[in-house]
Structure 1
């Protein structure tokens, strides 16, 4: 998209751009072309996750990361049917080959890194072993040939492409710093960056997402390692990237930073009044900073992927970047180990979000190849949940972490309503996979679960779900009720009572912008779109009025400066850039135009005028296309770069 062909939404929202690596034309920063290395399914993603976990340790981040994760293997077998002739073969590791069971000598690599093998036609088997699995994966590159790969005996499956075997590093962009005062600098916005300082001796040094964190000198309250290494005479550098907006040093003569960014293009855009436009753009940048190889939760903490957080970051990514790759990698790595030993990320409700995220991924991108690649994990995942809940219909939560949200209240009803939502997702996933019997079992279990929820967890007089099934005195909470609206659990005549309660102040508030976004989505779907926008302005506009450049992990209205930045009992523990708070990037298109796919991959879509006469412009990235929606006094108009899919 060239400057002259930018959409109306891109042009009108340009004033709100806050990303130093912003591009609406092509991916930026650019990545150098790489050979297409091949791996067994999920091996590359699991290798990247282990590298990220090691990096978190070196960065001194105060984070726990529960769960069981697949460890990459040191030996991989690749198999292909090849024609007679010369084969160009490149391997990472120690390779042995055989053709139709007969050993095939491999020549040394040439100057281009490839081995040029003259061979007859047949079945070629190449076994590759990494001498140091923590440094590089066993991998193969052979253009023009279709390969299978196996890590366990003869269980071959299509090999999948990935980055370089050592793990692809994110490119860096120089970000200018503004002098705040003697020894203090401002990057202008939150960044994740390496810092370089020039000083005659080792500099004293500090950083912060906020000014109060910048001024902290107590190492007990550091949220990141402030270590420096000398790289040249009088030059010092942080060995790991730091998340910050502000820097300080009392004796540095020169300070610079190079910020890390996953290459991206802002294919989507939203412009309405200035406040909402800025909210959308800052939400988009919040997500951008959390787009690494995976969609991670935050750049100061934890720099790791969590499957529950993915539900919102997936949606935001769909409306901002339209890029399936980080979603696909995140689903692949988090689901690889399965849940027979432990729930995903060690959290029972995150095992439910996993199915909801897979369903949303198919809805927005229609990636059936990936779905088929994940068949084994998905079918087993669904089977485990059905087995665990067979005896009592409800999904047990004893002995595991039931999270839902950072709130201190009973959460059992919320878990079971979320289970109903995940069963609906599981049914749709099973149908896509052609697993009709499994889909029927999910549908029947969801029917029985719905019946039990209304029998044991619903107050028909109030028209609300209470917090613990079988305990009407457990009180009413928000989560079970807005989950119910999102999963279409209540009948149409029951929805207004729930929406009215959510609009009032009689229920305890949610704990995070993560859940606030889902509640706002539920309000819109219940017809309270105007009130939904009001709440969005209050929360995310409130953060902008407090000087936020990215959106916080949690937001407490009216909190003082010290309380505003504390979390987990730590004065600067709150992450001020958290992907689960990027919800407005999806919510504003969903609310203002009711725009969402009506069939997988946007083969059909929905869009309508929600606020007649209200002016806004919206660009929505579709697979291989873009929708352009404009509304104002002259009406509601929809266009596209290519002939659009049919509306429904």
Structure 2
């Protein structure tokens, strides 16, 4: 994360009339009320979860799409135009306010200035339209509303609808009339097991590594039952009583037939057990994936690190679906804390902003707010932080402009749940998660929650500035300033040189944990002296409870990288993620504790195979290696300005690409040479050298203490000859 909030001037929102005069895109697409398709799709996706064949719904409130939507746009035509209209639902069409007979599939729009309205009702799925003419096409410049406030008086005059709130339409990739949004499916690819072991009535199939998709039975014939037991490990697949997911089916096929399982599953192994005279010629799978293109890359002189990066990519790809989900075996839900880390990894691998926006919309839902997102206090704050980073990395203000009201009502809900001291403290119905850690106290006002709220308030101030709500911006910035002062007045302990974990009954507890302390480092809330004190008193102190989930290791290692401890972090990465690889992991896990042995590694939640062995938060090396080793990060929205500060961390060389909205920044760094190829925007290369560096195409400035900087122009390649300093081994645990 950026060490200081983005500075931006308040922007005046464009009038809707100006929005309507934007030129149409070259091709039509299906459009809908923004956020509705995302909510509808997430409802469907998250309700696919089963445990041993039993439907397992989410724990939180579901919202739904608006069933009646009005779409409209103004056009100026130089000649008459034939326009085709498609809709998902019952619909009517108006031309210049006059209803056309029936539900026309094609209309003629005369030359001149005109307005087309299409009103669609659909209770089962999202009301959507596809409009296609020579110049008149449905796109995001169309305006939509769920209540047009229109009425007609006794004279036949239409009412004033100026109070109607119109938003720009939403869209995804449905770009042909027959690509119906309600039929949304991810692409699949046929794959086969790498080994098959048959016994009398069972067949164990190994697909080689963790995967996700639909099992397909070929040449099925006979009468009897088939049970499919899925396993991320061989032990799970062979455990008919404890496997987390399964399919049980009965068949009566006189002629050979194929059968595809109704729900996709996560597995490496599948154990097929048959009864009766059932015969199956063969088994394959349909691998289901999002089909996104990898843009980021990383390679280095250490093959184990390269393997960690590759498995991180694969893990993240499996959990990148219609939305960013937590894990592919068990939940397959959209959890805000998990998704927030996925956003950051995405910026360094795919840079697919639509998946980020879809996920944030699905998580937020609609008003009224009745609970925290996923019922978890910290997950609500991660939602706000995701918006901050979305703007920083993409420069896209449209999400903020469209959905600021939903941000505001979510924040007002949070502010309304503070205690008498103005602090967040768990109320009935609130789940304070923080991390999976034995004995972690959630009692009282926890410092970690105050820190996340403070950052969320700063984000709200930024967003209010963008939409021109100066009063809101001033209020949120003031709230953030007060809370930041309280954070240090109430939680900093001089004796322990750290923020304490909580306050109970108005008093500090003696407990110090890593969470608030490491976040305050990369939020730049600490002074440099406090950072150094916290690094040694907390992050490198084994007497402070250790972190065993990749979820919080993500932030712990980020804090250390932000303090220049890349050599230490590389060793930790090799021990932790490399430790999973040594145990045979083909994707990274929900939790890893080196002290466990054998099948103990698979247990969680009181179940022998409850742990997810493919969890999105396990892929954090994607982010760490891109941001803190290749050293690329935006310093203003959309990479208008950015820094490149490579860090070898003890490696002989590193190379890779970091995606941006304008293209990919390429970086190579060895102990003697740095190469950077830039994209649009102004870059700043920062590095240390024990000799005076040389670059034929750039001007290098000395900054003291062996630090050098060079401004980099757009679309230019630079080669810098330098001599890296011997890296000090700072990271030593107490």
- TM-score tier by shorter-chain length is 0.7 to 0.9
- Quote the residue 1:71 is aligned against: 64
Which of 83, 86, 90 is the aligned partner of 1:94?
A: 90
- Quote the residue 2:515 is aligned against: 479
1:160 aligns with 2:170: yes
- Quote the residue 1:357 is aligned against: 386
Kindly provide the CA deviation profile for residues 328-361 of structure 1, in whole angstroms up to 9, marking residues without a partner as x.
1001121232573111111111111111111011
Which of 124, 131, 136 is the aligned partner of 1:142?
A: 131
Please list, as runs of the form range in 1=range in 2, the aligned pairs for 1:541-552 lying within 5 A after superposition.
541-552=578-589
- Quote the residue 1:488 is aligned against: 524
SS in 1 for 2:59: coil
Aligned-partner Cα distance in 1 for 2:273–2:97: 68
- Quote the residue 1:223 is aligned against: 244
- Quote the residue 2:154 is aligned against: none
- Quote the residue 2:453 is aligned against: 419
- Quote the residue 1:405 is aligned against: 435
Aligned-partner Cα distance in 2 for 1:234–1:85: 50
Question: Shift of residue 436 of structure 1?
Answer: 3.0
Q: What is the number of residues matched between the two proteins? A: 605
**Larger deviation: 99-108 or 564-573?**
99-108
Aligned-partner Cα distance in 1 for 2:68–2:367: 22
SS in 2 for 1:539: helix
Kindly provide the CA deviation profile for residues 2-54 of structure 1, in whole angstroms up to 9, marking residues without a partner as x.
xxxxxxxxxxxxxxxxxxxxxxxxxxxxxxx9961110111111110121133
Question: Shift of residue 85 of structure 1?
Answer: 3.8
User: Whose strand proportion is higher, 1 or 2?
Assistant: 2
Asked if 2 retains the 8 angstrom alpha-carbon contact of 1:197 and 1:203, the reply is no
- Quote the residue 1:14 is aligned against: none
Please list, as runs of the form range in 1=range in 2, the aligned pairs for 1:390-401 lying within 5 A after superposition.
391-399=420-428, 400-401=430-431
Please list, as runs of the form range in 1=range in 2, the aligned pairs for 1:493-532 lying within 5 A after superposition.
493-500=529-536, 501-532=538-569
Aligned-partner Cα distance in 1 for 2:27–2:221: 40
1:128 aligns with 2:124: no
Distance 1:443 1:103, change over 3 A: closer
Question: Shift of residue 543 of structure 1?
Answer: 1.0
Structure-1-length-normalised TM-score = 0.88
SS in 1 for 2:171: strand
Question: Shift of residue 489 of structure 1?
Answer: 2.0
Aligned-partner Cα distance in 2 for 1:256–1:80: 48
- Quote the residue 1:240 is aligned against: 263
Question: Shift of residue 427 of structure 1?
Answer: 2.6
Asked if 2 retains the 8 angstrom alpha-carbon contact of 1:430 and 1:436, the reply is yes
After superposition, the CA RMSD in angstroms is: 2.4
Question: Shift of residue 263 of structure 1?
Answer: 1.2
Please list, as runs of the form range in 1=range in 2, the aligned pairs for 1:160-559 lying within 5 A after superposition.
160-162=170-172, 163=174, 164-182=180-198, 183-198=203-218, 199-201=220-222, 202-218=225-241, 221-228=242-249, 233-250=256-273, 252-272=280-300, 273-338=302-367, 340-389=369-418, 391-399=420-428, 400-407=430-437, 408-411=439-442, 412-469=446-503, 470-500=506-536, 501-559=538-596
Structure-2-length-normalised TM-score = 0.78
Aligned-partner Cα distance in 2 for 1:471–1:562: 43
Which of 627, 647, 650 is the aligned partner of 1:590?
A: 627
1:577 aligns with 2:587: no
Structure 1's unaligned 5+ residue stretches are 1-32, 110-114
Aligned-partner Cα distance in 1 for 2:507–2:419: 22
Aligned-partner Cα distance in 2 for 1:628–1:264: 20
Aligned-partner Cα distance in 2 for 1:314–1:37: 26
SS in 2 for 1:80: strand
Kindly provide the CA deviation profile for residues 532-569 of structure 1, in whole angstroms up to 9, marking residues without a partner as x.
22222221111111111111111111212222111111
Q: Which has the larger radius of gyration?
A: 2
Work out which structure has the larger RCO, using CA pairs closer than 8 Å and 6 or more positions apart in sequence.
1
Asked if 2 retains the 8 angstrom alpha-carbon contact of 1:99 and 1:124, the reply is yes
SS in 2 for 1:428: helix
Distance 1:103 1:258, change over 3 A: same
Distance 1:421 1:534, change over 3 A: farther
Question: Shift of residue 446 of structure 1?
Answer: 2.1
Distance 1:229 1:243, change over 3 A: farther
Asked if 1 retains the 8 angstrom alpha-carbon contact of 2:630 and 2:655, the reply is no
**Larger deviation: 245-254 or 255-264?**
245-254
**Larger deviation: 285-294 or 529-538?**
529-538
Question: Shift of residue 62 of structure 1?
Answer: 7.4
Question: Shift of residue 497 of structure 1?
Answer: 1.5
Asked if 1 retains the 8 angstrom alpha-carbon contact of 2:325 and 2:335, the reply is yes
Question: Shift of residue 106 of structure 1?
Answer: 4.6
Aligned-partner Cα distance in 2 for 1:229–1:639: 60
SS in 1 for 2:84: strand
- Quote the residue 1:637 is aligned against: 675
Asked if 1 retains the 8 angstrom alpha-carbon contact of 2:94 and 2:100, the reply is yes
SS in 2 for 1:227: strand
Asked if 2 retains the 8 angstrom alpha-carbon contact of 1:627 and 1:644, the reply is no
